[in-house]
Structure 1
Amino acid sequence: MKRARIIYNPSSGRETIQRVMLEIMEVYEKAGFETSVFETTKKAFSARDEARRAALDGFDLIVAAGGDGTVNEVVNGISGLEKRPLMAVIPAGTTNDYARALKIPRDDLIEAAKVINKKETIKMDIGKVTSHNSRLDYFMNIGAIGTLSELTYEVPSMLKTLYGYLAYLTKGAELITRIKPVPVRIEYDEGFFEGKANLILLALTNSVGGFEKIVPDARLDDGKFTLLIVKQSNIVQLFNLITKALNDGSHIKDKLVTYVKSSKVRVLPLSKEKMKVNLDGEFGGIAPMSFENLRQHLEFVAFTSKMKPHSRTMAQTADEVMLKRAEEEYRSASKEMKKNHKVNK
C-alpha cells in the first residue's frame, strides 16, 4: 500500500482543521494510502523538516494542510531532493492562494481532500532563490519587494485568525499612504530595468493575495516567471493601477508598469537601505537576490479539468504519474541487475 503523510498547522486560518482531521485521513485511506499525521510545532521550519524526513523515508504522498506558509515549508522540504513525492494541499489558511491556483475547494476541507479521487495532477513550476541573505531556498507562488509586499507579514497572526481577509484589507489601506519607491536594478531574460520602483512582483501562478487578474496570463508550468514592476508613482496613479488590476487586468498595459516573462530574474538594490523580500507571504530575506524558475519541478494533486487551458502546458492524471514512476524504477532496477550480472561473470 502507498503511504501518505499529512503535515498540518493547527493554528492556520480559523483553526478548524483539527476538528475534521479524522475525516480527512479517512479520505486518503479510501484512496489507497496508509495515512499518518504530523502536527507542526513552534520550532522554526517544523513542517519543512518533517516533509524532508518523510520524503527520504519513501512516502508516496505528502499533504500540506494549512495556509500558504505551510505549503511553502513543505515545498522547501522536498524541492532539493532528487526523488520528490507527489504533493497535495488542504487549504486551511486565510487567503489560500496556492489552492486557488490548483482549483482546490477552499470552503470545505473534506472536499479539498477528495480531489485525490479525481486522479488528476499537474507538474508545477517552482522558484529557486539564491542569496546569502535568504531565509528560504524555494517558493511556489510569489516573490515580491516593496512596501505593499510587506503586508502579509505585518498583519499579526491573531488578526489573520480572527478577521481573515479583512485584516489584510485594513492593513493595506494603512500601508498605501506610506509607500515609497526604491532604487533598484532588475535583470531578466530579455533585458533590464533600472530606476525607482514601488513594487516588484515575480509570480508563478495567477493567484496573488486572493486576486486572479493581477497576473492574468500566468502559466503554471511553462518555466517562466511573470515579472511585474510598478515604476515610481504617486498615490492617485497607484489607486488607478490597483483599480485596473482588480477589475479587468488592464494595468499590465499601463505605461507605469513593466510586464514581462522570464526564466531568471536578478534584483540588485541601488541604495544602502535594506530591501526586504516577501516569499509566499513570509519574510524571505534581504536583496540582492537571484531567482530561477525550475520548470515542472513538483507534482501536485489538482483539479486540472477545472483549469483554463491557457494556464498550463501539460497536466497528468495520478495514474499516469504512478505508471511513469514505476517504469523509471523498473528501468533502474534492470540496469542494476545487468550491472551485477556482468560483475558476477
Structure 2
Amino acid sequence: MEKAILLINPNAGQGKLKGLATELVARLTAAFKEVKQINLADPQVDRTQIAELAQEFDLVIAAGGDGTVHSVVNAIAPLEERPALAIIPGGTANDFARQLNIAQDPLDAVEQIFARKTEWIDIGQANTSYFLNFWGIGLITETSQSVDTTNKQTVGKLAYYLGAVQSIGKFTPFKVSIKSEQSHIEDEVVMVIIGNGSYTGGIRAFFPENKINDGLFEVVLIKEASIQTAWSILQAKLTKTTENSKGIITFRTNTLTINTEPNQQIDCDGEAEGHTPALIKALPKHINVIVG
C-alpha cells in the first residue's frame, strides 16, 4: 500500500472530524508515498466519482460515520479490482469500525492504519446495493426514520433505541415470504433484520456472535412489537439461544429472497436503499480491510 485516498465527511456524527483533516493528511503523508484528500461534504462528490478515484489508489480511507462507510463501500464493491479499505471513525455509532476493532479516537485509528494489518471480510448484496452490518425492513426502518438529527447528536447511539421504544404500538405488521435453502417462511411480522456484522447502533444488539468472514448471514424475524421485545433488543438478548423464543424466528443462510405485502422500505446499515422485493446474498471475502 503506497497510495492512499482519504475520503472525509467533516459533518459526520457531532462534527468529530471537523478541524482534523489537516492533521490526518499530515500523518498519512508521512506513511504513504501519495495521499489525496476528498471532502465528501461536497455535493458534487458521488459514488460514481468515488469509484473512479478509488481505482487509482491502493487504499481507500473512509473517515466519517456509518453512512459514510456505507457510501464508500457501495462505490468500491462493484469494482473488479478493489482497493483495500480503512475506516477512521467519526460518527455516532461507528458500528463497522467497532466490528473491526478500530479505535474510536480518529488519531488512534490512523496509527492502526500504519500497522497495515488486514483481513478479507464478507459483505452483503441486496439487489444492486451493498451492506456491511445489516439489512432490515419494518420496525428497524421506522426507528431510523424516527430519530431526528438533533436527538441523534444529543444522546448518541441511545437515540436509536429510544426511537425503537417510541415506535412500539404504532407499527403495523406486514406479510412476508422468505425463501432460502434452509427455510421457507410465510408469516406476519413487524421486522426482518439480516446481520453480517455484530453491531447495531453501537452495541452488540441483534447478532452478538456474528462473524464477518464465515460466508453466512444471521436472519431474525420478529413477529410482534412489544415493550418486552424492545427490552430484549436493548439488553442484547437476541442470541442463538432465542431460537425458540415466542415471537422470534432465527436461522442462518448465505442467500435468500424476500417478498412482502405491502412492499417495505429497505434499511441498509441505517441508510434507505429502495423497497422490497429483494434478493440478498453474501459475497464471501469480498473486501480487504484494515483491522485493529
TM-score w.r.t. length of structure 1? 0.78
Displacement, 1:212?
1.3
Higher helix content, 1 or 2: 1
Instruction: Return the alpha-carbon distance in structure 1 between the equivalents of residues 134 and 179 of structure 2.
Output: 17
Displacement, 1:242?
2.9
Q: Residue 41 and residue 243 in structure 1: after superposition, are their counterparts in 2 closer, same or farther (change >3 A)?
A: closer
Q: Name the structure 1 match of 2:232.
A: 241
Q: Which amino acid aligns with 1:259?
A: T
Q: Is the 8 A contact 1:127 1:140 kept in 2?
A: yes
Q: Name the structure 2 match of 1:187.
A: 179
Q: Is the 8 A contact 1:51 1:62 kept in 2?
A: no
Q: Name the structure 2 match of 1:72.
A: 70
The answer to whether the aligner puts 1:277 opposite 2:270 as a matched pair is: no
Instruction: Return the alpha-carbon distance in structure 2 between the equivalents of residues 279 and 235 of structure 1.
Output: 23
Flag structure 2 segments of 5+ consecutive residues without an equivalent: none
Q: Which amino acid aligns with 2:34?
A: E
Rg: which structure is higher?
1
CA RMSD of aligned residues (A): 2.2
250, 258, 267: which one pairs with 2:258?
A: 267
244, 249, 253: which one pairs with 1:258?
A: 249
Instruction: Return the alpha-carbon distance in structure 2 between the equivalents of residues 146 and 98 of structure 1.
Output: 22
Displacement, 1:253?
4.5
Displacement, 1:161?
3.0
Q: Is the 8 A contact 1:153 1:282 kept in 2?
A: no
Instruction: Return the alpha-carbon distance in structure 2 between the equivalents of residues 236 and 125 of structure 1.
Output: 33
Instruction: For 1:98-117, list aligned pairs within 5 A.
Output: 98-106=96-104, 108-117=105-114
Q: Name the structure 2 match of 1:167.
A: 159
**TM superposition outliers: structure 1 runs of 4+ over 6 Å:** none
Sequence identity, in percent?
A: 28
Q: Name the structure 2 match of 1:61.
A: 59
CA deviation profile, 1:277-335 (whole Å, cap 9, x unmatched):
101101111100111110000011011xxxxxxxxxxxxxxxxxxxxxxxxxxxxxxxx
Instruction: Return the alpha-carbon distance in structure 2 between the equivalents of residues 292 and 248 of structure 1.
Output: 22
Q: Residue 214 and residue 234 in structure 1: after superposition, are their counterparts in 2 closer, same or farther (change >3 A)?
A: closer
Is the partner of 2:190 in helix, strand or coil? strand
Displacement, 1:15?
0.8
Flag structure 1 segments of 5+ consecutive residues without an equivalent: 131-135, 304-345
TM-score w.r.t. length of structure 2? 0.92
Task: State how many pairs are aligned.
Answer: 292
Instruction: Return the alpha-carbon distance in structure 2 between the equivalents of residues 252 and 25 of structure 1.
Output: 48
Q: Name the structure 1 match of 2:116.
A: 119
